[in-house]
């Protein structure tokens, strides 16, 4: 089975074979990017609009670069400053977009579910979720998966520790879904105040203690403390948090000797991770994650564009019949 979806709104609806198909294509793009082969035409003639209703540096840049490398006409709208502040509803935004006729729409929004809503309202256009509230961030989970697959040679039967602010993290949610579908052992580590309710239903092991949770882990994925999504005292202090949950040499020693260290960025050095570990290229794959991000977004947009073109072709055939 190949990639069938019309939109990329989350990892949840994807079949493992669709994930593998996307990662295989991204893997080829990653190799070509490394060799400097960065001009392709898979999206030639298509218009890509990026709408980021929430701050972003790497994700927005990554989607822009990916679209340009595939030959799309790419435009980024500065949403922070504009419509959302003036109280325009998402429905009005969708109507505006329908009038502009984009082919690919990349959306980041602070509210969970907002990207699904937009996808339901825009016509004739593939929508990619670049992060919605604490819900999903599918391309981040896919780029993490590609990074792991390239570093470890496989994406199944690995012991993967996801540490820190799980409750507020769309990165954690999408990763738990993806890594679970690929049959890995997932261990969540963090203070109970930062664990989402009902987490046991996801089939993960939950730990309060870093040393216990990290024991033998092949992959150590650190998360940023999502202060903007906290409304009160989730942690006693950053110092105390670093002491108990910050990844330092002493705690990392409990993981497998060849464990890789990941972080989606932006990092709070000295809060969730020690700067020396983050910069240690023998263990940290944080820069590789950024690199794989471009390749994964190229693959995602190419696969969606193929499905979009096929659906348009079918519609034309219907009209002609
Ligand atoms: C993540 C996000 O925005 O969800 N960052 C990213 O996409 N690179 C994680 C975070 O903000 O902590």
Q: What is the dihedral of CA 227, 228, 232, 238, to 10 degrees?
A: 10
Q: Are 99 and 123 in contact (CB under 8 A)?
A: no
Structure tokens at 184: 């890995």
Report the alpha-carbon distance of residue 46 to residue 73 in Å, rounded.
6
Mutate to test the pocket of ligand 1, among 264, 273, 287, 289 (most ligand atoms within 8 A of CB): 264
Cα-to-centroid distance, 171 and ligand 1 (Å): 7
What spacing in Å lies between the alpha carbon of 169 and ligand 1's midpoint?
A: 8
Q: How do the residues of the chain divide into helix, strand and coil, expressed in percent and rounded to 5?
A: 45, 15, 40
SS3 188: strand
In angstroms, rounded to a whole number, what is the distance separating the alpha carbons of residues 169 and 262?
Answer: 15
Q: Is 48 in a helix, a strand, or coil? A: strand
Indicate which residue's Cα is closest to atom 7 of ligand 1.
59
* Total residue count of the chain as it appears in this document: 321
Phi/psi of residue 59, each to 5°?
-65, -45
- Please give the number of the atom of ligand 1 that sits closest to the Cα of 223: 12
Residues 232 and 193: beta-carbon distance below 8 Å: no
Please give the helix or strand (H or E) that residue 271 lies within, else none: none
Decide if 112 contacts 196 (C-beta within 8 A). Answer: no
CA-nearest of 112, 119, 115 to 98 is 119
Distance (angstroms) between ligand 1 centre and the Cα of 45 equals 30
Best mutation site among 131, 165, 271 for ligand 1, i.e. most ligand atoms within 8 A of its Cβ? 131
What lies within 8 Å, CB to CB, of 56 at 6+ separation is 108, 130, 131
Q: What is the pLDDT of residue 82?
A: 60
DSSP state of 193: G
The residue assigned the tokens 């496989």 is 154
Residue 189 to residue 254: CA distance in whole angstroms:
13
What is the distance between the alpha carbons of residues 120 and 93, in angstroms, rounded to a whole number? 12
Structure tokens that stand for 278 in this block: 């983050």
Distance CA 194, CA 216 (A): 23
Residues 299, 320: contact at Cβ < 8 Å?
no
Question: Could you list the pLDDT tens digit for every one of the 321 residues in the chain?
Answer: 689 999 999 999 999 999 999 999 999 999 999 999 999 999 999 999 999 999 898 999 999 999 999 999 999 987 765 666 666 788 888 888 889 999 999 999 999 999 999 999 999 999 999 999 999 999 999 999 999 999 999 999 999 999 999 999 999 999 999 999 999 999 999 999 999 988 878 889 999 999 999 999 999 999 999 888 777 677 878 999 999 999 999 999 999 999 999 999 999 999 999 999 999 999 999 999 999 999 999 999 999 999 999 999 888 888 888
Residue 62 CA to ligand 1 centre (angstroms): 13
Ligand 1 atom nearest to 224, measured from its CA: 12
């Amino acid at each position: 089975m190949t990639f069938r979806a019309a939109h990329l709104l989350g990892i949840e609806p994807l079949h493992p074979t669709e994930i593998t198909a996307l990662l295989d294509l991204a893997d080829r793009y990653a190799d070509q990017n490394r060799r400097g082969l960065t001009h392709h035409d898979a999206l030639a003639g298509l218009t890509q609009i990026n709408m980021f209703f929430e701050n972003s540096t790497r994700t927005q840049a990554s989607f822009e670069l990916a679209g340009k490398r595939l030959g799309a006409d790419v435009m980024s709208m500065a949403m922070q400053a504009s419509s959302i502040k003036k109280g325009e509803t998402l429905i009005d935004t969708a109507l505006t977009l329908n009038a502009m006729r984009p082919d690919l729409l990349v959306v980041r929004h602070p509210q969970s579910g907002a990207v699904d809503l937009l996808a339901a309202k825009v016509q004739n256009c593939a929508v990619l979720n670049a992060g919605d509230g604490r819900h999903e961030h599918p391309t981040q989970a896919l780029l993490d998966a590609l990074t792991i697959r390239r570093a470890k040679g496989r994406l199944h039967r690995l012991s993967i520790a996801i540490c820190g602010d799980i409750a507020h993290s769309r990165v954690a949610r999408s990763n738990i879904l993806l890594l679970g579908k690929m049959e890995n052992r997932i261990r969540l580590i963090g203070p109970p105040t930062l664990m989402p309710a009902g987490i046991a239903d996801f089939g993960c092991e939950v730990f309060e203690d870093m040393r216990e949770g990290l024991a033998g882990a092949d992959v150590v994925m650190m998360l940023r403390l999502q202060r903007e999504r906290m409304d009160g005292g989730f942690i006693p202090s950053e110092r105390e948090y670093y002491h108990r949950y910050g990844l330092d040499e002493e705690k990392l020693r409990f993981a497998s000797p060849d464990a890789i260290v990941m972080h989606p960025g932006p990092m709070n050095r000295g809060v969730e991770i020690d700067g020396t570990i983050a910069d240690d290229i023998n263990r940290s794959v944080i820069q590789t994650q950024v690199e794989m991000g471009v390749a994964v977004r190229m693959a995602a947009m190419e696969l969606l564009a193929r499905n979009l073109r096929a659906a348009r072709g079918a519609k034309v055939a219907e009209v002609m019949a």
